[in-house]
Amino acid sequence: MSTSRIKFYQTGTYTAGNRLLDEAARTVQSRMDRTNSLNSGHRACQGCGEALGARYAVDAAMRASHNRLIAINATGCLEVFSSPYPESAWQIPWMHSLFGNAPAVASGVAAALRAKGRDDVKVIAQGGDGATVDIGFGCLSGLFERNDDVLYLCYDNEAYMNTGIQRSGATPPFAQTNTTQAVGEAPGNPTGTGKNVPRIAMAHGIPYVATASVADLHDLEAKVTNAMGLQGARYIHIHVPCPLGWGSDPAHTIKVARMAVESGLFPLFEAQFGMVVDRTLIRHKVPVERYLELQDRFKHLFGPQGSPDAIAAIQSIADANIATYGLIA
Amino acid sequence: MLAQIEGSQAVAEAVVLCRPDVIAAYPISPQTHIVERLSRMVKQGDVGRCQYLNVESEFAALSVLIGASAAGARTYTATTSQGLLFMAEAVYNAAGLGLPIVMTITNRAIGAPINIWNDHSDSMALRDAGWIQLYAETNQEAADLHIQAFRLAEELSCPVMVCMDGYILTHAYEAVDVPTQSLVDTFLPPFSPVQVLDPNEPISIGAMVGPEAFTEVKYLAHQQYLRALTLIPEVAGAFEQQFQRHSGGLCSPYRMEDADAAVIALGSVIGTIKDAVDELRGEGIAAGCVKIGCYRPFPMLQLRAALEGVARVIVVEKDLAVGMGGIVSADVQRALQGLPIPVHTVIAGLGGRSIPKSSLKQMVHDARAERLNEPHFLDLNRTVIDNELARRREQRRAGPVAEHVIRAINAIGTKVV
């Protein structure tokens, strides 16, 4: 399912230039009739990648469902910053139940719609990496194996940010968090740990799995649109930098995300029924240092007390991704 | 029509008559016969468009129903014991969100030591989660309570647990009158939720509430919950009018006229207690009993009124607050506050230990002679206890208690000499 990609080499970015396009080819977000599903006025931090990713993803899902959408939200930053009583930033039917059950709650909504013969309304569930890869993982796997008609969106900022930056199963090797401090003989998150949930999702053989990034919002919207065009369990894993948790400049959220993609550390691909069907080629390959040096959580790897071995190990992860997914033509 | 059927089948048929939209369940003994039957009926198309979801855990089962109920579906699940504890977080959540889910608890002990037989430890552990808790005495009542439960839940926007004793009721075959669809349809109107996830009227459900409003939210929930104490007798009355038999209600006295000693209990053991009361009356002892049919909310005033004239109360309960004693008896004591009526706690039937009529009669004799311990453990095997305590005195690392006790008794399962 390849979509025609629009490149704006004159600006060096994928994110600008809607005005140069036909109306139909513009992003959902640049259209006058966008739904602002996650409306302005919420309490996310400056430069929050999750708020940006959710805004694009949910509006795209709304457009694809002709504004007939119900969203389920796990506990986490997105839930907390968008719904402190009596203010809700959600302009769509939205529900939060618990940290670990968003996939099951969404399955329930889908089942209720089936029972009532309502095939006009679509269901999405969303959560951070903690809710998705750790505490809600059992429910997520259940949703996948039953092939319930739900699109699950994981906003991956690679740690428990809402509780104050603790390690999750999606925290990368060597990253400093408040439970994997940069102290001791092996500073930061231990290597050889963590899990790759997009691959695990693919192993369930579900109709659609994709990775996406706020570095490429056209691509994110296109993947949500693709997913919404299919029936059954679908999963999109979205890389969303967290300035607070990563120690990056809030103005650099897109840049940090782009370096993750361009270094090969966060490969962008689409899979159907367990097989990779498309991937985004790296335009200008960068060494992983360009990504790591933007973030305080990797600061201990640099300088006189730094660890060239650790950086080399991270580079080898990026290189392996590039080889696995064929990210360089 | 009367049918000679298993308790689980009767409950499953009653649930189907309530026209559920979504059922989600995870298998655990002794709940399985209920959900197997429901699965079959859904699969062969006997339940309209009802969806049956085979989920990966009890936590998921209730979470599915939370989503389905919020989307306007009538929802049902069943579980017990470890399964109820595994879904505990969602149990509180469903109540907090005001979702009228109905759940059968086929009461079973909680491990360790692992034990699949009946007592009330499971539902007691979740008694204050904000669900209405009804306890069935017989299979007929178990079936009837489910029909009442959906009506109660939906009128109050409050989830309901129907508790029935595992094996003793779930696996017992006896005559049950399974009502007709038209009677149930007259009694139970279609589910019309007060709030629903709907693109036509988008609302946010499950917002974060801080210190400035949390107390008020909880106060209103408490007041709403207490309305059940008025509604339950009304619904039981309407049920009796419709179906020509009494089932449910808050608490039911038996031979309490001029009673001197009153035995209080929940669930199926009430049958044996009634027999014991009859025999004691025959011996000239003015015994009576009161069944607590609705344990949460607790019918404080109704129970006080039923017990006001007695000389003593004996609470027979199938649970144990370790280090404390009785759970139900503490509530009964509160109901009788200020009255000079002693309340004895008798812990009985733990992990499926049978509660024979002879032991109950002896218990009443002992209570009247002031010979009961506080709390009193019915039919405790003192020899085994003393041997084990002696072993521990001799040896600091004395080994696994449960295995020693089983070996000392030389018993299989629950057979106790």
Residue B415 lies in a domain: no
Alpha-carbon gap, residue A218 to B306, rounded angstroms? 71
Residue A12 lies in a domain: no
Query: Residue B384: pLDDT above 50?
Result: yes
Residue B257 lies in a domain: yes
Q: Do A109 and B197 touch (CB under 8 A)?
A: yes
CB count, 10 Å around CB of B139? 25
Residue B227 lies in a domain: yes
Chain B residue numbers touching A121 (CB-CB < 8 A): 199
Which strands form B376-377's sheet, in the order they lie side by side? B251-254, B287-292, B261-265, B312-317, B343-347, B376-377
Residues B155, B130 share a domain? yes
Residues B232, B89 share a domain? yes
A–B: how many Cβ contacts below 8 A? 162
Confidence of residue B417 (pLDDT cuts 50, 70, 90): very low
How much of chain B exceeds pLDDT 90, in percent?
94
- A86 and B CB contact within 8 Å: yes
Predicted TM-score (pTM) of this structure: 0.96
- A258 and B CB contact within 8 Å: no
Residues B222, B164 share a domain? yes
Residues B188, B301 share a domain? no
Looking at residue A173, which CATH number applies to its domain? 3.40.50.970
Q: Which of B375-379, B388-392, B406-410 has the highest mean pLDDT?
A: B375-379
Residue B183 lies in a domain: yes
Half-sphere CA count of B342, side-chain side, radius 13 A: 15
**Total domains in the fold of chain B:** 2
Q: Which of A68, A85, A123 is the best residue to mutate to test the B interface, defined by the most B CB atoms within 10 Å of its own CB? A: A85
Residue A267 lies in a domain: yes
Identify the pLDDT of residue A19: 66
Residues B160, B17 share a domain? yes
Give B388's DSSP letter. Answer: H
Identify the pLDDT of residue A30: 84
Residue B409 lies in a domain: no
Query: Residue B250: pLDDT above 90?
Result: yes
Helix axes B300-307, B328-335, angle to 10 degrees: 70
Looking at residue B52, which CATH number applies to its domain? 3.40.50.970
Residue B387 lies in a domain: no
Residue A204 lies in a domain: yes
Contact indicator for B215, B222 with CB cutoff of 8 Å: no
Residues B263, B228 share a domain? no
- Angle CA(A259)–CA(A263)–CA(A265) in degrees, nearest 5? 95
Residues B66, B173 share a domain? yes
Residue A7 lies in a domain: no
Q: Do A108 and B56 touch (CB under 8 A)?
A: no
Kindly state the helix (H) or strand (E) to which residue B61 belongs, with its residue range: helix B58-70
Residues B341-359: what's their mean pLDDT? 98
Identify the weakest region by mean pLDDT among A227-241, B134-148, B281-295, B395-409: B395-409
Residues B257, B239 share a domain? no
Query: Is the backbone peptide bond immediately before B112 cis, with ω within 30 degrees of 0?
Result: yes
Residue A211 lies in a domain: yes
Of B89, B202, B207, the CB nearest to A98: B89
- B24 and A CB contact within 8 Å: yes
How much of chain B exceeds pLDDT 70, in percent?
98
Please state, rounded to an integer, the average pLDDT across all residues of chain B.
Answer: 96
Nearest-CA residue of chain B relative to A71?
B197
Residues B365, B229 share a domain? no
Residue B365 lies in a domain: yes
- A116 and B CB contact within 8 Å: yes
Complex-level ipTM:
0.95
Identify the pLDDT of residue A10: 45
Query: Is the backbone peptide bond immediately before B30 cis, with ω within 30 degrees of 0?
Result: yes
Which strands form B294-296's sheet, in the order they lie side by side? B51-54, B22-25, B75-79, B102-107, B160-165, B132-135, B294-296
CB count, 10 Å around CB of B70? 29
- B285 and A CB contact within 8 Å: no
Give B94's DSSP letter. Answer: H
Note the pLDDT tens digit of each residue in A84-136: 888 999 999 999 999 999 999 999 999 999 999 999 999 999 999 999 999 99
Ranges of chain A with pLDDT below 70: 1-20
Domain of residue A297: give its range. 18-325
Identify the pLDDT of residue A13: 53
Half-sphere CA count of B387, side-chain side, radius 13 A: 12
Q: A162-184 as b/e, with b when 16 or more CB fall inside 10 Å?
A: beebbbbbbbbbbbbbeebebee
**Total domains in the fold of chain A:** 1
Chain A residue numbers touching B100 (CB-CB < 8 A): none
Q: Do A146 and B53 touch (CB under 8 A)?
A: yes
Residue A5 lies in a domain: no
Query: Residue B85: pLDDT above 70?
Result: yes
3-state SS, one letter per residue, for chain A: CCCCCCCCCCCCCCCCCHHHCCHHHCCHHHCCCCCCCECCCCCCCCCCHHHHHHHHHHHHHHHHCCCCEEEEECCCHHHHHHCECCCCCECCCEEECCCCCHHHHHHHHHHHHHHCCCCCCEEEEEEEHHHHHHHCHHHHHHHHHCCCCCEEEEEECCCECCCCCECCCCCCCCCCECCECCCCCCCCCCCCCCCCHHHHHHHCCCCEEEEEECCCHHHHHHHHHHHHCCCCCEEEEEECCCHHHHCCCHHHHHHHHHHHHHHCCCCCEEEECCEEEEECCCCCCCCHHHHHCCCHHHHHHCCCCCCHHHHHHHHHHHHHHHHHHCCCC
Q: Which of A95, A121, A147 is the best residue to mutate to test the B interface, defined by the most B CB atoms within 10 Å of its own CB? A: A95
Residues B17, B162 share a domain? yes
- B88 and A CB contact within 8 Å: no
As to burial, measured by CB atoms within 10 angstroms (0-12 exposed, 13-18 middle, 19+ buried), residue A145 is middle
Domain of residue B144: give its range. 2-192+212-243
Q: Do B68 and A108 touch (CB under 8 A)?
A: yes
Query: Residue B196: pLDDT above 80?
Result: yes
Residue B398 lies in a domain: no
